[in-house]
Amino acid sequence: MIGAGNVAYHLSVYFKENGFNIIQIFSKNLENAKALGNKIDSDFTNEEALISSEADIYIVAIKDDAIADLVTKIPQLKNKLIAHTSGSVGLEILNKLSNRAAVFYPLQTFSKDKNVDFQNIPFCIEASNSEDLELLKTLASEISQKVFSINSEQRAAIHKAAVFACNFSNYMYIIAEKILKENNVDFSILHPLITETARKACLNSPYFSQTGPAKRNDKLVIKKHLSSLSNDELEIYQLLTNQIIKTYNNE
Amino acid sequence: MIGAGNVAYHLSVYFKENGFNIIQIFSKNLENAKALGNKIDSDFTNEEALISSEADIYIVAIKDDAIADLVTKIPQLKNKLIAHTSGSVGLEILNKLSNRAAVFYPLQTFSKDKNVDFQNIPFCIEASNSEDLELLKTLASEISQKVFSINSEQRAAIHKAAVFACNFSNYMYIIAEKILKENNVDFSILHPLITETARKACLNSPYFSQTGPAKRNDKLVIKKHLSSLSNDELEIYQLLTNQIIKTYNNE
């Protein structure tokens, strides 16, 4: 396991719990490597030169923009299957290390202090050849019920879509919380609405569950909202409202 | 019950199921008034002049921008408690009809074809006097465990916050679905991520669960995403990314 951050941590613990043997943890941060190594009873190192050549599969679970640097520093892993877990990086970046480059991308948002149930997390799998694709599929199927064969172009689209569906929707919650705080209302009053909105979007297409003043093109309410928003929120409200109006009035 | 749309429908059915007697449904649309009236074994009318004077409580569950028109058309309801269900309209609009104006605002997104569990829906209650406030609280407590006394200013903030947390987050899902469709990926691959993002935001403040390239200020990934988005999505991505960067770099 190359990496000891959120994804590396949860994958390592889950693999271990499911009977896999992780022979070594590598991380440039020795403390992290040691903590994870000790937790799952595995060897660990922070030196690139000491990375084991004995593993069947190498999983690179480090930050997207750290992969390019990593591949120049660790020894060749000829004929070894090596897969990264990134949504935004192509498979070919690993070709420098091995002819058996692959991707093993879990589509979820991870926090270190929270247990992860991988069974329900989609894994997007890609490999340079069909044998390795099957091997990775088998591996992923041991920990998840949702395994998809996804090419690099599709994975890039999924990653981009996830920014909207996860990061940007969360930012909408942040703005909502800020507006409520300014009016001494607890954010928890919105919990049922947030949960229901997410639930409905997953029952059918979110296109059919859109509601609100922009969807209705309710100019009075929109004007009232705009008049009481501060600069940053005002700009977002205006842009998203205009686009929702455009989306539903082009029908 | 004045109105026969989504909110009126679900409230009427739920009240009836919980032992309340709804003596009449009014809707300008006779078909809707009849359908709901028949469903809950209640009288119905589409004529303002025929609105019953016998009810203890009148609930105005019609579109926000239709309330102003309604109050000019229906007969006075002197000394009768009358409450609207709107998030964006003040209480005082009902003063023309009765000295006992009130608000009974369920904070949720409704679809007619889906059952609603009111027990978990927050009700925002406001009244012109403390007796009516208590009466409405008692009424709301019969169908929901989450009843809040909320003034008009706070309710306006809640409504605005709900536009961000519900309408705009749903629009983020719509864009995500569009991006996936263009790449032949089924939207269901994002369901676990959407559910988990909503869940995490409700566990703690969403401020602490923000993740993604904007949060990390990951310029490479942001640039890659921007280069492959079309006009409308590009503008949204740029604006939200800049504001997230600003939010977390001002710390």
Model pLDDT for residues B95-150, shown as the tens digit of each residue = 999 999 999 999 988 776 677 889 999 999 999 999 999 999 999 999 999 999 99
Give the closest-approach CA distance of B44 to chain A in angstroms. 27
pTM, entire model: 0.90
Cα B237 to Cα B235: distance, rounded to the nearest angstrom: 6
Hey, is the C-beta of B130 within 8 angstroms of any chain A C-beta? no
Question: A59 - beta bridge partners?
Answer: A83
Give the closest-approach CA distance of A109 to chain B in angstroms. 7
Q: Which residues of A touch B195 (CB under 8 A)?
A: 198-199, 202
Contact B7, B61 (CB under 8 A): yes
Mark yes or no for CB contact B107/A214 under 8 Å.
no
Hey, is the C-beta of A215 within 8 angstroms of any chain B C-beta? yes
Hey, is the C-beta of A212 within 8 angstroms of any chain B C-beta? yes
Mark yes or no for CB contact B236/A214 under 8 Å.
no
Give the closest-approach CA distance of A132 to chain B in angstroms. 22
Give the closest-approach CA distance of B22 to chain A in angstroms. 27
Residue-wise pLDDT tens digits, A162-220: 999 999 999 999 999 999 999 999 999 999 999 999 999 999 899 999 999 999 898 98
* A71-90: average pLDDT: 93
Contact B174, A247 (CB under 8 A): yes
Q: Which residues of A touch B199 (CB under 8 A)?
A: 195
Dihedral of the alpha carbons of B149, B153, B158, B159, in degrees to the nearest 10: 120
Output DSSP code: residue B189. G
Q: Which residues of B touch A202 (CB under 8 A)?
A: 188, 191, 194-195
For residue A158, give the nearest of B64, B185, B216 by CB distance: B185
pLDDT of residue B85: 96
User: In whole angstroms, how far apart are CA A41 and each of A23, A33, A48, A112?
Assistant: 9, 12, 20, 19
Output DSSP code: residue B41. T
pLDDT of residue B65: 83
> Hey, is A238 helix, strand or coil?
helix
- Amino acid (one-letter) located at B115: N
Which strands sit side by side in the sheet containing A123-127, from one edge to the other?
A57-60, A81-84, A100-106, A123-127, A147-149
For residue A185, give the nearest of B154, B171, B224 by CB distance: B154
Contact A111, B200 (CB under 8 A): yes
Asked whether the predicted pLDDT for residue B251 surpasses 60, the reply is no
pLDDT of residue A201: 95
pLDDT of residue B116: 82
Cα A107 to Cα A121: distance, rounded to the nearest angstrom: 6
pLDDT of residue A181: 97
A10-21 burial string, b = 16+ CB within 10 Å, else e?
bbbbbbbeeebe
> Hey, is B250 helix, strand or coil?
coil
Output DSSP code: residue B99. S
Residue-wise pLDDT tens digits, B105-119: 999 887 766 778 899
Segments in chain B forming alpha helices (H): 6-17, 30-39, 67-73, 130-143, 152-162, 169-182, 191-203, 213-216, 219-227, 231-249
Residues 80-109 of A with CB under 8 A from B: 88, 107-109
Mark yes or no for CB contact A200/B236 under 8 Å.
no
Q: Which residues of A touch B250 (CB under 8 A)?
A: none
Residue-wise pLDDT tens digits, B57-87: 999 999 888 999 999 999 999 899 999 999 9
For residue B215, give the nearest of A64, A150, A167 by CB distance: A167
Cα B121 to Cα B136: distance, rounded to the nearest angstrom: 15
Residue-wise pLDDT tens digits, A84-132: 999 989 999 999 999 999 999 999 887 766 778 899 999 999 999 999 9
* Mean pLDDT score across all residues of chain A: 94
Mutate to test the interface with B, among A119, A125, A172 (most CBs of B within 10 A): A172
Closest listed residue to residue A15, CA positions, set A42, A35, A33:
A42
Q: Which residues of A touch B247 (CB under 8 A)?
A: 171, 174
Closest listed residue to residue A218, CA positions, set B167, B2, B237:
B167
Cα B22 to Cα B16: distance, rounded to the nearest angstrom: 7
Q: Which residues of A touch B182 (CB under 8 A)?
A: 157
Would you state the structure tokens that stand for residue A222, as one six-digit string?
């929109």
Cα A167 to Cα B215: distance, rounded to the nearest angstrom: 8
Hey, is the C-beta of B196 within 8 angstroms of any chain A C-beta? yes
Asked whether the predicted pLDDT for residue A250 surpasses 80, the reply is no
Q: Which residues of A touch B111 (CB under 8 A)?
A: 200, 209
Asked whether the predicted pLDDT for residue A62 surpasses 80, the reply is yes
The share of chain A scoring above pLDDT 90, in percent, equals 87
pLDDT of residue B250: 61
Hey, is the C-beta of B173 within 8 angstroms of any chain A C-beta? yes
Give the ipTM of the model, two decimals please: 0.90
Asked whether the predicted pLDDT for residue A3 surpasses 70, the reply is yes
Q: Which residues of A touch B240 (CB under 8 A)?
A: 168, 171, 236
For residue B197, give the nearest of A150, A170, A191 by CB distance: A170
Cα B111 to Cα A211: distance, rounded to the nearest angstrom: 9
For residue B240, give the nearest of A168, A197, A224 by CB distance: A168
Mark yes or no for CB contact A240/B236 under 8 Å.
yes
pLDDT of residue A245: 96
Residues 1-60 of B with CB under 8 A from A: none
Q: What is the end-to-end Cα distance of chain B in Å, rounded?
A: 50
Residue-wise pLDDT tens digits, B193-225: 999 999 999 998 999 999 999 998 989 899 999
Q: Which residues of A touch B90 (CB under 8 A)?
A: none
Mark yes or no for CB contact A172/B153 under 8 Å.
no
A251 band by pLDDT with thresholds 50, 70 and 90 = low
* B219-237: average pLDDT: 93
Closest listed residue to residue A178, CA positions, set A166, A186, A189:
A186
pLDDT of residue B52: 95
